[in-house]
């Protein structure tokens, strides 16, 4: 079976056929990390992923994605099987995980920037698809900036596809503009189908938490 078929089965809370979800798989969702096949299956069984509506579907040797207008699944594939997964849209409804805040330079060596996207880092993304994804990725960051966010930065972690269908997974970093600054890390997925004038985009919403720099 294909990686997309495995994603569709998992979306409904069903175990993908032929070990389509690896036992040591990981899934990021709403600021949480689910570890192991059992934990991921239990999560999708309790909160199925809605596949109704129009989705951009992309599959290559290394990745597969289903991208809707407000939700998405993006997976790393290993021999067609899901090894790592990002679920975008909704929230697990759990209390925030304990974390320690540390100093972070979003611009790498103090070089200011907004989008870090090197097409050559993504071997399953052709040149035409990279050019099409660049503009909507920058539009996404500009929208966050216009909403009042500071130090908006995006890092394209995964991208795959061709001109007919392509997708990109973006790690987002923003700083709040309020008096007491609040930093935020989240994910977004963009999807472009053949003939699409606008990209489908889904943005994760990490749960708010207080700043904690110590144990």
Closest listed residue to residue 141, CA positions, set 201, 74, 53: 201
Please check whether residue 179 is in contact with residue 190, taking contact to mean a CB–CB distance below 8 angstroms: no
At 96 the pLDDT is 66
Tens of pLDDT, residues 78-126? 999 999 999 998 776 666 667 777 777 777 656 667 899 999 999 999 9
At 94 the pLDDT is 65
Please check whether residue 65 is in contact with residue 75, taking contact to mean a CB–CB distance below 8 angstroms: yes
């Amino acid at each position: 079976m294909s990686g997309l078929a495995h994603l569709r089965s998992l979306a409904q809370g069903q175990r993908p056929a032929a070990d389509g979800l690896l036992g040591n798989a990981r899934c990021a969702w709403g600021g949480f990390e689910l570890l192991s096949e059992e934990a991921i299956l239990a999560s999708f069984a309790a909160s199925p992923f809605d596949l109704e509506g129009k989705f951009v579907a992309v599959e290559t040797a290394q990745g597969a994605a289903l991208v809707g207008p407000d939700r998405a699944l993006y997976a790393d594939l290993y021999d067609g099987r899901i090894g790592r997964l990002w679920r975008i849209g909704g929230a697990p409804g759990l209390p925030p995980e304990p974390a320690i805040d540390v100093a972070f330079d979003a611009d790498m060596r103090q070089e200011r920037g907004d989008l870090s996207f090197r097409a050559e880092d993504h071997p399953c993304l052709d040149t035409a698809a990279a050019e099409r994804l660049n503009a909507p990725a920058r539009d996404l960051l500009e929208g966050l900036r216009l909403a009042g966010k500071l130090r908006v930065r995006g890092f394209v972690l995964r991208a795959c596809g061709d001109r007919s269908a392509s997708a990109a997974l973006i790690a987002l970093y923003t700083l709040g503009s309020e008096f007491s600054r609040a930093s935020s890390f989240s994910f977004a997925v963009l999807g472009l189908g053949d003939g699409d004038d606008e990209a489908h985009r889904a943005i994760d919403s990490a749960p708010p938490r207080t700043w904690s720099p110590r144990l």
